[in-house]
Structure 1
Amino acid sequence: MRRSLALKVGTVAAAMAVAVAGITFSMNSATAQTNAANGYASQNGGTTGGAGGAVVRATTGTQINQALCGRSSDSTPIIIQVEGTINHGNTADVSGSSCDVGSTLIDLKGVSNVTILGVGSGAVFDQIGIHIRESSNIIIQNVTVKNVKKSGSPTSNGGDAIGMENGVRNVWVDHVTLEASGGESEGYDGLFDMKDDTKYVTLSYSILRNSERGGLVGSGDSDLDSSFITYHHNLYQNLNSRIPLLRGGTAHSYNNHFVGIVESGINSRVGAKIKVDNNYFEDSKDPIGTFYTDLRGYWQVSGNVFDNVTWSSPGTDNYPAGPNPTSTTTVSIPYSYSLDNANCVPSVVSTTAGANKGLKTSNGSCSIQTPTNPPTDPTDPTDPPTTTPPPTTGTNLSLGAGADGTSKGGGTSYGNVIDGSTSTYWSPSGTTGRISVKWGSAQTIDTVVIREASDAVGNIDGWQLVNNSTGAVLASGTGAGTISFTATSLTKVNFVITAASGTPKITEFETYA
């Protein structure tokens, strides 16, 4: 059975309506994600994620799963704005025909047209990894994923912070922070892994640090179908190796800052080709080459800076590109890009890379560009106040109507939800209850707006909107916001709170035709 969905919904500014699990959210999705996909993610038709779809807010892993499972299909565009800490404790499995999710990871399986965007005070996936498989057109932006383990407790995603496999196409991972607290012996695996025919991926303006393994392309020497990957303006810090380990395929690495690399950096193997432009390698060992195998790969190098870098001696299974790196192949890049001078890469990357940096980017001339309203800015229209649902045009039919309910908490009143003021509110005497709006004659309505007090946002874990006369459930879900449904003639409509994590406070129960 499909689970219904209602999450905290973004501001309406124009009008785009998208049906999600029987509930229609109207919002301006054009401003919900910032910047545009670049690198290889801009090829093969481009990567737009959930652009044009519903914008929903999630503060738990369960709500992320509900958003995915509540879509009308597995390709219905959706932008999931995430704030807070996502972990095993708040992630539950959810059923639905448009998803295949789980409780131990964020699983984007068999889906397309999805954006996961960190907003507000930030989004942290703590010990819970993001897995993309059999999926396409995915954007992950402005989030932190940390301490994901494959052994120990808790475990998630095979120990990968972000992993992709099995026919994945067009993924843009941007302004993220991926980090561990050790290596394989401590239970961690890769930070950014791709395998089994994953193509057209860009990792940009991100931080990968404190791990034994940065990331691989291809899980073994026979897994050679993954290709067309761009890495740019990333900070690779305190990593042992795999930055990346590239088996077969084609990649492009430019304007990255490698610092404190312990064993090896870019490891091109088994016929792989990588273009390495204007990177800054610092305090590191063997930044480029073929390592730990005699199945050689190739590289095209230009404009890189090697600052306090050491090179090992060539030998069996060890083919460093230095100490004087020269190109061993040529790589044709199909997209346009601007190169910062390598000497300014450390300062540019320090300012721009990682989550919660305001989605700052470089203009290609060592200068920083800042979006007008980055999603980490509390006043940003892409990060709307969750305490006030979107305005609705037309006449609020609740004004002048009556109200009643099952119970009311001390100092509250049923009439407070129809007085046009968000400074007054109704609460049930416990955590659940009913509040209703009623008229002397039948009214036809198709939209309800439930507004919450600012200190009670997120308390409503389950609700139903019910036609009092017939008992028909018009809509159901979690959270508060704008609820649209098939136009219905009725004399009384009930908002029934079926589950809550705290005491709900409803300031307004608005109704519209």
Structure 2
Amino acid sequence: MKRATSARLGAALATLTLAAATGTLVSVPAASAATGPATGYASQNGGTTGGAGGQTVRATTGTAIHAALCGRASSSTPLVIEVTGTITHAGTKKVSGSSCDTADGVIELKKISNVTIVGVGSGAVFDQVGIHIREAKNIIIQNVTVRNVKKSGSPTSNGGDAIGMESNVRNVWVDHTTLEASGGESEGYDGLFDMKNNTQYVTLSYSVLRNSGRGGLVGSSESDRSNGFITYHHNRYENIDSRAPLLRGGIAHMYNNHYVRLNESGINSRAGARARVDNNYFEDSKDVLGTFYTDEAGYWQVGGNVFDNVTWSQPGSENHPAGPDPVSNTTVSIPYSHRLDAAGCVPAVVNRTAGANKGLQVSDGSC
């Protein structure tokens, strides 16, 4: 099933060739960048609508994205930013204004609300430029690729996180994205999708996370337990060493994800976290669920998952794998409606739909 926006996005792009070529910021009809409804926990707490109903602009540089934020009447005026082309570190500069708080070398969504950033046309790639969400709410990021964001080496951006959220963040929906690195911490990279310091009501859906030492975390330390209500669905985690994700406190729901080559550990529920893990497909991986690298226990409710060539380590003082036969040790009630695909169908469904530039396709319930 394709979302009805694809044709309108393409039509809008065709009329703005000059603007795209020059990297300027221009207005386009608001309808051209509409998105479907948010899913998972992002649909709760009043919902996540991003910039729906506001002005739509087009940007081809990080600086133009910042200019769009700074050009609003206020920091909460709804805004849709359509992005096309490759966003570079050098082309991402600080812009000042009363409705923004931006910085060089990073897409800074700080102290703002009601914003959508959506890739259009042949794609939007944030190359070595991370997206930082801080003290913000009601944000949608859709149909973009974020790659090779470094915390060491050159250039550095966003502490090495592809997408990072911190400090009183609420209601973020990240959908149909591709988040990737080219190694782990020793190569200069950190997490692909991190949340900390009171970040809540977030959904990551139909996305690809790959080739990274760290998939992502919820909570920066064992004492940072103010985060939660996170949904991960129809994502593909591929060639990830650990943190798929790491949960410290809070509640998370993982359903219909495809995990391939989790090399050291996968869903690491610890420090009182509770994870509901439904109808996922785990393949060619190690220690895909449990409490790892700590003696502070986390918990899980499991059902309908497939474990295909998954190996499990022996329990130890700081190593508590859920397998080889995972059973539930808590219950987690989910407040939103959702349809579960059969776990056996998940690899085919996710391969067809997840990631940027897939036409915003979603599961139709069949293999």
TM category (shorter chain) comes to over 0.9
Superposed counterparts of 1:415-430, under 5 Å: none
Give the distance between the partners of 1:331 and 1:237, measured in 2 at CA. Answer: 27
Query: Structure 2 unaligned runs (5+)?
Result: 1-10, 14-24
SS in 1 for 2:65: helix
Residue 352 of structure 1: aligned partner? 353
Q: Does 1:277 align with 2:278?
A: yes
Superposed counterparts of 1:169-248, under 5 Å: 169-248=170-249
Superposed counterparts of 1:107-118, under 5 Å: 107-118=108-119
Contact 2:110–2:134 (CA under 8 A) maintained in structure 1: yes
Give the distance between the partners of 1:30 and 1:342, measured in 2 at CA. Answer: 36
Q: Does 1:254 align with 2:262?
A: no
What is the deviation of 1:92? 1.5
**CA 1:112–1:192 in 2, change beyond 3 Å: closer, same or farther?**
same
Contact 1:112–1:135 (CA under 8 A) maintained in structure 2: yes
Give the distance between the partners of 1:225 and 1:349, measured in 2 at CA. Answer: 31
Residue 343 of structure 2: aligned partner? 342
Give the distance between the partners of 2:151 and 2:215, measured in 1 at CA. Answer: 15
Q: Does 1:88 align with 2:89?
A: yes
Contact 1:162–1:191 (CA under 8 A) maintained in structure 2: yes
The one-letter code matched in structure 2 to 1:160 is D
The one-letter code matched in structure 2 to 1:277 is D
The one-letter code matched in structure 1 to 2:111 is G
Superposed counterparts of 1:316-465, under 5 Å: 316-363=317-364, 365-366=365-366
What is the deviation of 1:90? 1.2
The one-letter code matched in structure 2 to 1:115 is T
Contact 2:257–2:346 (CA under 8 A) maintained in structure 1: yes
**CA 1:178–1:24 in 2, change beyond 3 Å: closer, same or farther?**
closer
What is the deviation of 1:350? 0.3
Give the distance between the partners of 1:141 and 1:130, measured in 2 at CA. Answer: 12
Residue 61 of structure 1: aligned partner? 62
Give the distance between the partners of 2:330 and 2:227, measured in 1 at CA. Answer: 19
What is the deviation of 1:91? 1.3
Residue 49 of structure 2: aligned partner? 48
The one-letter code matched in structure 2 to 1:193 is D
SS in 2 for 1:67: helix
Superposed counterparts of 1:482-493, under 5 Å: none
Give the distance between the partners of 1:88 and 1:317, measured in 2 at CA. Answer: 40
Give the distance between the partners of 2:202 and 2:350, measured in 1 at CA. Answer: 20
Identity of aligned residues (%): 72
The ranges of structure 1 where at least 4 consecutive aligned residues each deviate by more than 4 angstroms after the TM superposition are 23-26
The one-letter code matched in structure 1 to 2:279 is N
Contact 2:261–2:284 (CA under 8 A) maintained in structure 1: yes
**CA 1:24–1:357 in 2, change beyond 3 Å: closer, same or farther?**
closer
What is the deviation of 1:87? 0.8
Residue 308 of structure 1: aligned partner? 309
TM (norm. structure 2) is 0.92
Contact 1:345–1:366 (CA under 8 A) maintained in structure 2: no
Give the distance between the partners of 1:145 and 1:26, measured in 2 at CA. Answer: 24
CA RMSD of aligned residues (A): 1.4
What is the deviation of 1:366? 2.2
Give the distance between the partners of 2:32 and 2:125, measured in 1 at CA. Answer: 22
Give the distance between the partners of 1:146 and 1:115, measured in 2 at CA. Answer: 20
The one-letter code matched in structure 2 to 1:111 is I
Structure whose alpha-carbon radius of gyration is higher: 1
What is the deviation of 1:34? 2.5
Residue 3 of structure 2: aligned partner? none
Give the distance between the partners of 1:30 and 1:249, measured in 2 at CA. Answer: 36
Structure with the larger helix share? 2
The one-letter code matched in structure 1 to 2:166 is E
SS in 1 for 2:108: strand
Q: Deviations over 1:287-344 (max 9, x none)?
A: 1000000000000000000000000011110100000000000000000000000001
The one-letter code matched in structure 1 to 2:288 is P
**CA 1:24–1:233 in 2, change beyond 3 Å: closer, same or farther?**
closer
**CA 1:142–1:297 in 2, change beyond 3 Å: closer, same or farther?**
same
Superposed counterparts of 1:136-151, under 5 Å: 136-151=137-152
Give the distance between the partners of 1:211 and 1:24, measured in 2 at CA. Answer: 36
The one-letter code matched in structure 1 to 2:333 is S
**CA 1:343–1:336 in 2, change beyond 3 Å: closer, same or farther?**
same
SS in 1 for 2:286: coil
Residue 391 of structure 1: aligned partner? none
Query: Structure 1 unaligned runs (5+)?
Result: 1-8, 12-22, 368-513
Q: Deviations over 1:238-278 (max 9, x none)?
A: 00000000000000000000001100000000110010000
Greater mean deviation of Cα atoms: 76-85 or 90-99:
90-99
Q: Deviations over 1:105-159 (max 9, x none)?
A: 0000000000000000100000010000000000000000000000000000000
Superposed counterparts of 1:29-44, under 5 Å: 29-44=30-45
What is the deviation of 1:30? 3.9
Residue 449 of structure 1: aligned partner? none
What is the deviation of 1:93? 1.2
Q: Deviations over 1:155-203 (max 9, x none)?
A: 0000000000000000000000000000000100000000000000000
Give the distance between the partners of 2:219 and 2:274, measured in 1 at CA. Answer: 13
Give the distance between the partners of 1:222 and 1:257, measured in 2 at CA. Answer: 30
TM (norm. structure 1) is 0.66
Contact 1:191–1:213 (CA under 8 A) maintained in structure 2: yes
Contact 1:10–1:57 (CA under 8 A) maintained in structure 2: no
The one-letter code matched in structure 2 to 1:212 is G
Contact 1:286–1:309 (CA under 8 A) maintained in structure 2: yes
